[in-house]
Structure 1
Amino acid sequence: MITVVIPTIGRASLAEAIPEGVPVIVVEDTDRRGPAATRNRGWRQAKTPWVVFLDDVVPGEGWPEALTRDLADLPADVGGCQGRIEVPLPRERRPTDAERNTAGLARAEWITADMAYRRAVLEQVGGFDERFPRAYREDADLALRVRQAGFRLVRGERVTRHPVRDDGFWSSVRFQRGNADDALMRRVHGPRWRSLIGAGGLLPRHAVTTALGIGALGIGALGIGALALALAGGRRGALACAAGWAALTARFAWERIAPGPRTPGEVARMAVTSVVIPPAACLHRLRGELRARR
């Protein structure tokens, strides 16, 4: 009835993700085409009515039995069923920015950390869109297309744990690459795509911060920065842009520092990356827009 598909690039924690008692297909992304393409290779090998996708997670105790109960007797109009994701956070201190970002997966909808789909539905909609090269938005895109095809998505009762990893000082900057995939989401699903999946975003504020930074540097040939200088006039305009940039950057940094442990290392990391994230987000979004148009 059920086949589990796990994409991997050879991670050390893979053994913890493999549940016992159900058929499992582990697909290694040897050609680095991304998880969307890897999952497609996996589910197309499956012969069962249901395919369950697991990512970098640890299924809870009794997971196979709970999964069977979740999928049993679901109406034909239900195309998919998501597990309940738990993210273990430290109890002795406030979570870091990276830990809070991972904890957001517990509230996310239709993510492939633990997501079951009818194989027939995957065939009908064509599976994952392989134009999404990262583990980002490819699952939301699939969920939207499944719903657009007339199927419902529901939450089950099985529990899966998603560990928190330390991806390094610059991880939050690297994650801005996902803004390129947001451009494809807009291209495919229209300007309201965020509301359809319940996602927020800071890109408009990042764009203003970046424009003010450009204006503060006096680079008058670059779009909005040039407009800001023209309106305010010369050196006075550059100072005004610098003040605006500093205020928005400080606000962004404090929003990330305040709920965290506020250790010297975490504060330094938030201060530095809060300067880099806005222009990085804008550059990746621009790159994504150009790619989506091609």
Structure 2
Amino acid sequence: VLGDLRDRTTVRTGGGRGPAAARNTGLRAVSAPWVAFLDDDVQVGPRWCEQLTRDLTEASPDVAAVQGVITVPLPGGRRPTDWERGTAGLARARWITADMAYRTAVLKQVGGFDERFPRAFREDADLALRVLGAGHRIRQGGRTTRHPVRPASRWASLKHQRGNADDALMRRLHGPDWWDKAVAPRGRIRRHAAITAAGAAACALAAAGHRRAAAVCAAGWAAGTAEFARARILPGPRTRDEVTTMLVTSALIPPAATWHRLAGAWRHRNAPAWQEAAR
């Protein structure tokens, strides 16, 4: 049992620059051979410390990190909402730092977390790909950590689109096939871009007086938006509030996602691949 940790806790400030910078701040203060990372919204079990010790003891020398098993409790008696399904995906995610232990020497060898990732998104996958690229292994451990679904506003999925800028950075650092390397879902960015282009074209053509062409583009926008909304509504509870949220955000997400992706590509246009930066 971990017990009261107040006498054994040291708080260090990271300047509010995101989780990557905060973890690097903690890393600089570590002298132990292993560093264990936990997110602030997870719940460890009563035997977590014992299980962590076992995971690290059993790690062979070529294993640089041991990931915990993440469980996401979902409500019973109804289908999960879009937000709950998104959180449940963490249980299948590779290399997430919700519960991850790294060898301190390996972290310092690869330069720690990349602080250009300002959100809790992709910074863990980027680190893992650099660790694997340096010739180390990452394996799954036996310890279990619970990740409850935190409350979120109806606009949470819209705000989440900022992560598309981080996907652009991942592409610059790890190449166009980074999705496969990171074993990450590719997402719908191409469809979002097509829907956004159709909507923008419809507006431009209508303003220029090309009504027929504008109608065709508007129909394409409507069809794409309807398909997106349907894909999000059908697996959910289909309550009035959930359906309304899905309809509104499904119209707003494609342009938001496209904007953040383009902004990220421009912002990180000169970022070298991580192999080049490591030389």
**TM-score w.r.t. structure 2 length?**
0.91
Aligned to 1:218, which of 182, 198, 204? Answer: 204
User: Does the 8 Å CA contact 1:19/1:59 hold for their aligned counterparts?
Assistant: no
Match of 2:29 in 1: 45
Aligned length: 266
Matches within 5 A, 1:42-191: 42-55=26-39, 56-191=41-176
Give secondary structure in 1 for the equivalent of 2:145: strand
Match for 2:194: what amino acid? V
**TM-score w.r.t. structure 1 length?**
0.86
- Stretches of structure 2 lacking an aligned partner (at least 5 in a row): 271-279
Confirm whether residue 247 of structure 1 aligns to residue 223 of structure 2: yes
Match of 1:35 in 2: 19
Alpha-carbon offset, residue 198 of structure 1: 1.3
For the structure 1 residues 272 and 236, does the alpha-carbon distance in structure 2 shift closer, same or farther, using more than 3 Å as the test? same
The CA distance in 2 between the partners of 1:98 and 1:27, in whole Å, is 31
Give the structure, 1 or 2, with the largest relative contact order (CA under 8 Å, sep 6 or more).
Answer: 2
For the structure 1 residues 99 and 28, does the alpha-carbon distance in structure 2 shift closer, same or farther, using more than 3 Å as the test? farther
For the structure 1 residues 220 and 290, does the alpha-carbon distance in structure 2 shift closer, same or farther, using more than 3 Å as the test? farther
Moved >2 Å (runs of 4+): 18-29, 218-221
The CA distance in 1 between the partners of 2:11 and 2:234, in whole Å, is 41
| CA distances 1:238-288 after superposition (whole Å, capped 9, x unpaired) | 111111111110110011110111000000000000000000000001110
**Greater shift in the superposed pair: 108-117 or 57-66:** 57-66
Alpha-carbon offset, residue 220 of structure 1: 8.3
Alpha-carbon offset, residue 73 of structure 1: 3.2
For the structure 1 residues 243 and 19, does the alpha-carbon distance in structure 2 shift closer, same or farther, using more than 3 Å as the test? farther
Give me the identity figure in percent: 61
Match of 1:15 in 2: none
Match of 2:192 in 1: 206
Alpha-carbon offset, residue 234 of structure 1: 2.4
The CA distance in 2 between the partners of 1:248 and 1:95, in whole Å, is 24
Match for 2:50: what amino acid? E
Alpha-carbon offset, residue 174 of structure 1: 0.3
Match for 1:37: what amino acid? A
Alpha-carbon offset, residue 107 of structure 1: 0.1
Question: What RMSD in Å do the two structures reach over aligned CA positions?
Answer: 1.9
- Stretches of structure 1 lacking an aligned partner (at least 5 in a row): 1-17, 222-228
The CA distance in 2 between the partners of 1:220 and 1:127, in whole Å, is 51
The CA distance in 2 between the partners of 1:165 and 1:198, in whole Å, is 25
The CA distance in 1 between the partners of 2:251 and 2:140, in whole Å, is 38
Match for 1:247: what amino acid? A
For the structure 1 residues 65 and 21, does the alpha-carbon distance in structure 2 shift closer, same or farther, using more than 3 Å as the test? farther
The CA distance in 2 between the partners of 1:170 and 1:84, in whole Å, is 29
Confirm whether residue 234 of structure 1 aligns to residue 210 of structure 2: yes
